[in-house]
């Protein structure tokens, strides 16, 4: 495409926006409303996913070791576990440390009065995972390791967290799909009206030899610009609301800070900004391109 054709299409696309002001405002408002809802849902679902992920990383598999396993073998087993992709952290506790921790949790007082360690065979690893859905694979692996006598796991917790992760994924896809289809439908209607208004102009352009691309380009650019503008407004609104909500929750409900860790606004928007702009521009492009294609036969 030549430079002058590009500039012509760009200028005409911008003029189309101002030429159909009310329809443009309606399209921008509609896309903004859809992406605003998407941004809110995304922020909420991302934080839920973060909380579930944090909960996953607190779920530990306990691998009890056989009595008399050497320190060298303990180091080997730990290195083997840390090389597993699903493993996030491995903590080792000797039998004495296990007994001291158990006594402290149950308020036994001074344990020096005990002549023997009742948990002498309870040296163990606490293994924390990156992905709790892979717990069964890790348990099977642990049961094959020489020196491990028993593996304790929380299968129910793993199933619940895996199920919650799946639900979040399905909900996210459903929301994106619905908002995407609704926005395409609305932008298509707006571009259709714009084409009807300028149908004679398009016919004249075609009669004097203009290509379909030349006639279509201004409307496609118009749709892209509407989608771009429509994505910036909700981003600003969601950014303000999310930031204020996090600050309010932290100051007014400080007791929640230990239980719920909200993602920083910068981390959420590092992903949300390109997604929203991509969706807005994509909606504008697809909606305008497909609609113009239907109405250029003259």
pLDDT band at 115 (very low <50, low <70, confident <90, very high): low
At 138 the three-state DSSP class reads helix
Measure Cα distances from 62 to 102, 125, 158, 273 in Å.
Answer: 15, 6, 14, 41
Q: Which candidate, 179, 239, 181, places its Cα nearest to that of 33? A: 179
Strand order in the sheet with 148-152: 87-93, 124-129, 60-65, 148-152
Is the pLDDT at 131 greater than 80, yes or no?
no
Question: Could you report the per-residue pLDDT of 216-238, keeping only the tens digit for each?
Answer: 777 788 888 888 888 898 999 99
Distance of alpha carbon 279 from alpha carbon 233, whole angstroms: 13
Residue-wise DSSP of 231-286? HHHHHHHHHHHHHHHHHHHHHH-GGGTTT--PPPHHHHHHHHHHHHHHHHHHHHHH
Domains and CATH numbers, the chain: 3-55+160-295 (no CATH), 60-153 (3.30.70.3040)
Greatest mean pLDDT among 43-52, 56-65, 85-94, 149-158: 85-94
Question: Could you report the per-residue pLDDT of 72-91, keeping only the tens digit for each?
Answer: 888 888 898 888 888 888 88
Q: Which candidate, 88, 91, 92, 84, places its Cα nearest to that of 57? A: 88
Residue-wise DSSP of 180-245? HHHHHHHHHHHHHHHHHHTHHHHHHHHHTT--HHHHHHHHHHHHHHHHHHHHHHHHHHHHHHHHHH
Question: Could you report the per-residue pLDDT of 146-192, keeping only the tens digit for each?
Answer: 888 888 877 666 667 667 777 777 877 787 778 767 766 766 666 56
Tell me the longest C-alpha to C-alpha distance in the chain: 104
Structure tokens at 31: 């896309």
Question: Is residue 52 within 8 Å of residue 132, measured between CB atoms?
Answer: no
Mean pLDDT over 105-132 rounds to 75
Question: Could you report the per-residue pLDDT of 191-221, keeping only the tens digit for each?
Answer: 566 566 666 666 676 677 767 777 777 778 8
Say what the pLDDT of residue 114 is.
66
Q: What is the residue-averaged pLDDT of the chain? A: 77
Measure Cα distances from 180 to 39, 121, 293 in Å.
Answer: 13, 59, 20
Is the pLDDT at 298 greater than 60, yes or no?
no
Is the pLDDT at 136 greater than 60, yes or no?
yes
Distance of alpha carbon 33 from alpha carbon 224, whole angstroms: 17
Is the pLDDT at 11 greater than 70, yes or no?
yes
């Amino acid at each position: 495409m030549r430079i002058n054709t590009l500039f012509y299409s760009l200028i005409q696309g911008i003029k189309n926006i101002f030429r159909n002001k009310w329809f443009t405002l309606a399209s921008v408002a509609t896309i903004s409303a859809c992406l605003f809802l998407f941004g809110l849902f995304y922020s909420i679902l991302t934080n839920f996913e973060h909380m579930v992920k944090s909960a996953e990383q607190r779920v530990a598999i306990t691998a009890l070791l056989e009595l008399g396993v050497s320190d060298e073998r303990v180091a080997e087993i730990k290195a083997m576990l840390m090389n597993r992709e699903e493993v996030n952290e491995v903590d080792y506790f000797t039998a004495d440390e296990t007994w001291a921790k158990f006594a402290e949790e149950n308020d036994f007082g001074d344990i020096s009065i005990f002549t023997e360690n009742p948990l002498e065979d309870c040296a163990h690893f606490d293994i924390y995972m990156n992905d709790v859905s892979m717990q069964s694979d890790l348990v099977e692996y642990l049961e094959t390791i020489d020196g491990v006598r028993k593996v304790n796991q929380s299968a129910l917790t793993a199933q619940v967290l895996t199920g919650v992760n799946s639900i979040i994924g399905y909900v996210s896809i459903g929301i994106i799909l619905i908002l995407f289809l609704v926005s395409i439908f609305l932008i298509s209607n707006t571009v259709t009206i714009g084409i009807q208004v300028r149908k004679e102009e398009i016919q004249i352009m075609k009669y004097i030899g203009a290509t379909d691309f030349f006639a279509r380009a201004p409307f496609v650019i118009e749709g892209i610009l509407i989608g771009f503008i429509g994505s910036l407004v909700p981003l600003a609104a969601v950014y303000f609301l999310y930031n204020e909500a996090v600050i309010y929750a932290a100051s007014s409900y400080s007791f929640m800070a230990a239980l719920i860790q909200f993602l920083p606004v910068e981390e959420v928007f590092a992903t949300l900004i390109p997604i929203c702009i991509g969706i807005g521009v994509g909606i504008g492009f697809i909606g305008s391109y497909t609609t113009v294609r239907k109405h250029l036969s003259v």
